[in-house]
Amino acid sequence: MAFKQISSPHGHNPQNTGWIMQLVLLSTVPGFLALSYQFGWGSFINLIVAVVTSLTAETAILACRNRPIAFYLKDYSAVVTAVLLALALPPLVPWWVVVVGSLFSIVIAKQLYGGLGYNPFNPAMVGYVVLLISFPIEMTTWITPLSLLPDGVSHPGLWESMSIVFAGSAPVDGVTGATPLDIFKHSSGLVVDQIYQNEALFSQASFAGVGWEWVNVGFLIGGLILLKTGVFTWHGPLAMLGTLALMSILFWDGGSSESPGSPIMHLFSGASMMGAFFILTDPVSSAVSNRGRLIYGALIGLLVYVIRAWGNYPDAIAFAVLLANFAAPFIDNYTLPRTYGHTDRRKATEKQEEK
């Protein structure tokens, strides 16, 4: 009898890439629920459109590249990209915006670079940035959170939402509004206390900004679940949130008219939590070592704050992540761990070990 020649180890623990991706998907549920509760059906429709587009695009490209389709679809990576993009987009954005973003993410940012594992940039964020630059109006029109809706007005129902998304009918007045970060961006003459008194978004908030705070809490919960299951390490998210908090404390400025906002506001507004736990933890495009991920996370936190405070855009997760993606190989070069039996860490490009 002849047995096969197989290299050790023999046997494997049960988890696989598809399972990890499914775990990520499951962990987005709290954030998704919070989004849907606060902003209506829009995110749900985004999700469906994005997933369908992404899977279609992925299938088409895999077929073109002569790859086994079912085998690669089973890794769920296209679904994860689609979901993250859908959750980052404003609810009730026209359907073609979602389609363009998804196509760009999957076709250009992922498959043209060689598919899963070979993309230097986070595909969802590439899609997002393309949309933000190409369609600024659609991308900055956000829905008013549930509790701030004027009396007698409610979020459009599923059917009405679909007609807004697919047929382009205009939403009811008062349904769209500014986000907390928008407000800070555009009210430079006022001291923070005045903003907090004038804007219902803050005066009625529990701790950071109506609606947004709960969305961020949702993503925080999902992120902590992933952390617990060991899908990623704490290094990236903690460094990012820590740096963001540190920067906002440093420049808090006592709440003067120049102040870019409080640490709590920054941590629980915009895409902070989603970015920290779901975007920058994308392992493919991030730094590889734990030390590298600390630097990578901190760089993103810093960039997010810099762009939010002094840049042109109210939020900056996508830009910050893409810029840090550029820096990841450079960070990797200097952050190799110290191997057993070596006195010092080495550089990735080193030719001869320095003794």
Which residues would be at the binding site for another protein (CB under 8 A)?
Answer: 1-13, 15-17, 19-20, 67-68, 71-72, 75, 77, 115-118, 230-233, 283-284, 286, 288-290, 332, 336-342, 346-351
Q: Which is nearer to another protein, 151 or 354 (CB)?
A: 354
Smallest CA-to-CA distance from 179 within 212, 217, 153 is with: 212
Can you say whether residue 255 is alpha, beta or left, with left for phi > 0 and alpha for psi between -120 and 50 degrees?
A: left
Helix (H, G, I), strand (E, B) or coil at 143: strand
For residues 74 and 186, which CB has a smaller minimum distance to another protein in the complex?
A: 74
Q: Which two tokens stand for residue 14?
A: 């049960």
Question: Who's near 210: CB < 8 A, 6+ residues apart?
Answer: 145, 147, 148, 200, 201, 202, 204
Do 105 and 124 meet the contact criterion of CB atoms below 8 Å apart? yes
Nearer to another protein, 251 or 347 (CB): 347
Angstrom distances, CA of residue 163 to CA of 91, 156, 170: 13, 10, 9
CA dihedral 208, 214, 219, 222 (to 10 degrees): 130
Least CB distance to another protein at residue 39 (A) = 31
Closer residue to another protein in complex, CB, 79/195:
79
Minimum CB separation of residue 85 from another protein in Å reads 18
Nearest distance, CB of residue 282 and another protein, angstroms = 9
Comparing CB distances to another protein, the nearer of 56 and 233 is 233
Minimum Å distance from CB 72 to another protein? 8
How far is it, in rounded angstroms, from Cα 36 to Cα 40? 5
Per DSSP, helices labelled H in the chain are 17-27, 29-39, 42-64, 69-73, 77-88, 95-103, 123-134, 136-140, 158-162, 180-186, 192-198, 200-203, 212-229, 235-250, 263-267, 272-274, 290-310, 317-334
Question: Which among 47, 75, 78, 82 is positioned nearest to 60, based on CA atoms?
Answer: 78
Selection from 26, 20, 79, 88 nearest residue 53 by Cα: 79
Minimum CB distance to another protein smaller for 18 or for 242: 18
Identify residue 12 by its one-letter amino acid code: H
Question: Judged by CB, which is closer to another protein: 50, or 80?
Answer: 80
The nearer residue to another protein, 3 or 310, going by C-beta atoms, is 3
Closest separation in Å from C-beta 98 to another protein:
24
Rounded to a whole number of angstroms, the minimum distance from the CB of residue 117 to another protein is: 4
Residue 43: CB partners within 8 Å, gap ≥ 6?
A: 32, 35, 36, 86, 87, 91
CB of 285 to another protein, least distance (A): 9
Least distance to another protein from the beta carbon of 275, Å? 19
